[in-house]
Amino acid sequence: MVMNHQTAPPAEAPAGPPAKRPLDTVVKLALGVLFSSFALIWGGMFLSRPDRSIPPYSIGSQERTIVAVHVPSWTSDTEIETLIERFRKVGAETRNFGSMKIQPTTLDDPRGRYQHIAIYIFTDEGWTEPEVLHKYVTGEDPKVRDGFEGSVRGFYRLDEQEEEGRIGPVPRGKDSAATAAFSRQLFKGPVVKSAGASEITPAP
């Protein structure tokens, strides 16, 4: 008698999670460009600063004697104060802010190319855009003026032999008392030359 042995069908393997679709090449390229751009901007600011004792910064825009400077969002007040003190040192020793990547502010003045300068420092680069600075300088939009001065993180002004440095918003107008609560004056008065500094001469 012949017995038929039936072989049971193999059990189906349990279904695993669906395979993840690889990122599209275009998406990969876009992400690569995005992260590379951030790295280049930060790296450029870091490497282009005159030395490592001041925070990285870039000149966002400039209109005549007014300069809008951008520093990274994580820059502390102490670091901003260090940058202001560097501007002060340049103003007292050489008055040549070209070394700080700033274009001449009084190009046609026979006394020098930087007789008057006002530097506003921001951590929000939107306030350093050329069109925003232009609206502030012309005063055509009061909202821009108030927002501009209220967003300042640091300020340096040099007028011939007078200078001023501040941390925080610029207190002006009807809200000056409220703004002053968040602002700290570092110095204000005649330019004080550093020890061993030569006489201030016009930049070549």
**107-149 confidence digits (pLDDT tens):** 988 889 999 999 999 999 999 999 999 999 999 899 999 999 9
The DSSP secondary structure of the chain, one letter per residue, reads -PPPPPPPPPPPPPP-PPPPPPPPHHHHHHHHHHHHHHHHHHHHHHHHSS-TTS---EEEEEETTEEEEE--TT--HHHHHHHHHHHHHHHHHT--GGGGT---SSTT-TT-TTSEEEEEEESSGGGGSHHHHHHHHHT--HHHHHHHHHT-SEEEEEETTEEEEEES----GGGHHHHHTT-EEEEEEE--PPTTPPPP----
pTM of this structure:
0.70
pLDDT tens, residue by residue, 151-200: 999 999 999 889 999 999 987 755 556 566 678 999 999 987 765 444 44
